């Protein structure tokens, strides 16, 4: 089987994994057992599908393989009886109805984001289980050491088991208290799909699509909640640029160079409308997701990059800092200031954020601004530091192209 076909199989398996895992958690009642069984099914698929061909119903194939593995584990651990009998009843290869799969995914999101877990643990666990990211990828995305992240994930899964956290969508009165973790999780799943931290793909469409789908389900559950409206708007506005972010060879295309005719006009219209509704519902206190969506709308509505209303973008970042004052937001604001006031002004702000020294995009941003200022040696050093910290293959290729110009 050729490399492209093998990559296609790997992508398909990765796309189906989260839905299979969600159903397994319902069937087995154990996150750990479900994860192990799903991983075994994934390995089997990657071994057999390239040789024998992709089955007509890949998800059903994976689900049956995973359930068989789970039953083997249950038998080996001498935990028969009701649980084994229950698992045996789910070996039917008939695909699960769409509404059951949908509910399984929602249940798993809310299980990962239970309030007895810390917010950091909620987000990490959901990225690991729902997003299918490795512990290393989760650690990089949340900017913590890998060893720390491994311990955090282990503790979170143990707590779910020990506290017998229910696998269900909460009642209506419970939803507001669960929203912060769920929204953060959906956003981070989207971000990993929108700009993968590692691997061959810049964009992992399955992750972005899953995040948007989950955001839409949240909007059904909480149609008047500004956080949900802002989150959905934000994801739609970012995703609207998907087709223009790579050229025909798979290379990354910067926002300034994208063909805006390829942006998804329908997604932009829906996103901007949602921003308007959400802003009207937050007249007194800004909402993080609504403000971020307003920033994305500024870019989406600009007919060209040079026509971007940078004053508005910087102003919205100032508002965002009142509710989410973190270094990455300050870095993004510095980029907007550089576009409005010049590279020197932006670089002065970036250099104040040296606590981001382990974040590759801090170095990449410095490199770009140094390059604009004609400081070639310093720019070269910054590009090299960005590359050393790890990026996806298309991002690495883009940074190397910039470095080659020096």
Mean pLDDT of 215-239: 93
**Per-residue confidence (pLDDT) for residue 319, from 0 to 100:** 98
Residue 96 has pLDDT above 60, yes or no: no
The pLDDT, as a whole number, for residue 82 is: 53
How far, in Å, CA of 50 to CA of 46, rounded?
Answer: 7
Q: Are the beta carbons of 34 and 70 closer than 8 angstroms?
A: yes
Instruction: Tell me how far CA of residue 230 lies from CA of 107, 183, 221, in angstroms.
Output: 22, 10, 15
State the pLDDT confidence band at 188, using cuts at 50, 70 and 90. Answer: confident
Q: Which of 371, 372, 338, 333 is nearest to 353 (CA)?
A: 333
Is the separation of the CB atoms in 41 and 69 below 8 Å? yes
pTM: 0.74
Say what the pLDDT of residue 2 is: 47
pLDDT above 80 for 383: yes
Question: Residue 162 above 70 pLDDT?
Answer: yes
Is pLDDT at 102 greater than 70 in this prediction? no
pLDDT > 90 in the chain, percent: 37
Which phi and psi (to 5°) does residue 366 adopt? -60, -45
For the cut 90, the answer to whether the pLDDT of residue 230 exceeds it is: yes
Task: Check if the beta carbon of residue 102 is closer than 8 Å to that of residue 217.
Answer: yes
The winner for highest mean pLDDT among 84-88, 131-135, 213-217, 317-321 is 317-321
Is pLDDT larger for residue 347 or for residue 251?
Answer: 347
**Cα distance between residue 161 and residue 310, in whole Å:** 49
Average of per-residue pLDDT across 342-364: 94
Residue 51 reports pLDDT greater than 80 = yes
pLDDT, average across residues 197-205: 60
The whole-angstrom separation of Cα 62 and Cα 192 is 24
Q: From the CB of residue 396, how many other CB atoms can be counted at a distance below 10 Å?
A: 16
Mean pLDDT of the chain: 84
* Whether residue 84 has pLDDT greater than 60: no
Q: Are 142 and 132 in contact (CB under 8 A)?
A: no
Between 95 and 313, the higher pLDDT residue: 313
């Amino acid at each position: 089987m050729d490399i492209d076909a093998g990559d296609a199989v790997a992508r398909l398996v990765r796309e189906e994994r989260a839905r299979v895992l969600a159903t397994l958690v319902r069937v087995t009642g154990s996150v750990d057992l479900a994860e192990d069984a799903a991983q075994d099914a994934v390995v089997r698929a990657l071994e057999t599908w390239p040789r024998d061909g992709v089955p007509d119903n890949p998800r059903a194939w994976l689900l049956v393989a995973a359930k068989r593995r789970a039953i083997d584990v249950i038998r080996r651990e001498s935990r028969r009886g009701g649980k084994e009998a229950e698992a045996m009843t789910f070996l039917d290869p008939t695909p699960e109805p769409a509404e059951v799969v949908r509910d399984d995914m929602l249940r798993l999101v809310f299980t990962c984001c239970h309030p007895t877990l810390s917010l950091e643990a909620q987000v990490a666990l959901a990225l690991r289980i729902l997003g299918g990211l490795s512990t290393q990828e989760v650690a990089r995305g949340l900017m913590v050491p890998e060893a720390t992240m491994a311990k955090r994930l282990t503790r979170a899964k143990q707590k779910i088991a020990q506290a017998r956290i229910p696998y269900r969508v909460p009642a209506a009165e419970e939803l507001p208290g669960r929203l912060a973790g769920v929204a953060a999780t959906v956003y981070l799943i989207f971000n990993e799909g929108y700009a993968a931290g590692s691997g061959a793909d810049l964009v992992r469409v399955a992750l972005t699509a899953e995040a948007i789908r989950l955001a839409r389900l949240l909007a059904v559950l909480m149609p008047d909640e500004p956080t949900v409206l802002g989150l959905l708007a934000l994801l739609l506005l970012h995703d609207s640029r998907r087709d223009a972010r790579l050229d025909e060879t798979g290379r990354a295309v910067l926002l300034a160079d994208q063909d805006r005719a390829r942006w998804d006009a329908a997604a932009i219209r829906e996103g901007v409308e949602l921003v308007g509704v959400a802003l009207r519902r937050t007249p007194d206190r800004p909402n993080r997701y609504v403000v971020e969506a307003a920033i994305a709308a500024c870019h989406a509505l600009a007919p060209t990059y040079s026509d971007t209303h940078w004053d508005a973008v910087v102003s919205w970042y100032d508002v965002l800092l009142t509710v989410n004052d973190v270094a990455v937001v300050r870095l993004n604001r510095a980029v907007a200031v550089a576009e409005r006031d010049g590279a020197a002004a932006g670089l002065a702000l970036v250099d104040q954020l040296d606590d981001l020294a382990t974040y590759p995009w801090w170095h990449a941003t410095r490199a770009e601004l140094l390059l604009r200022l004609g400081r070639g040696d310093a720019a070269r050093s910054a590009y090299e530091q960005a590359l050393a910290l790890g990026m996806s293959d298309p991002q690495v290729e883009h940074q190397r192209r910039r470095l080659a110009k020096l």
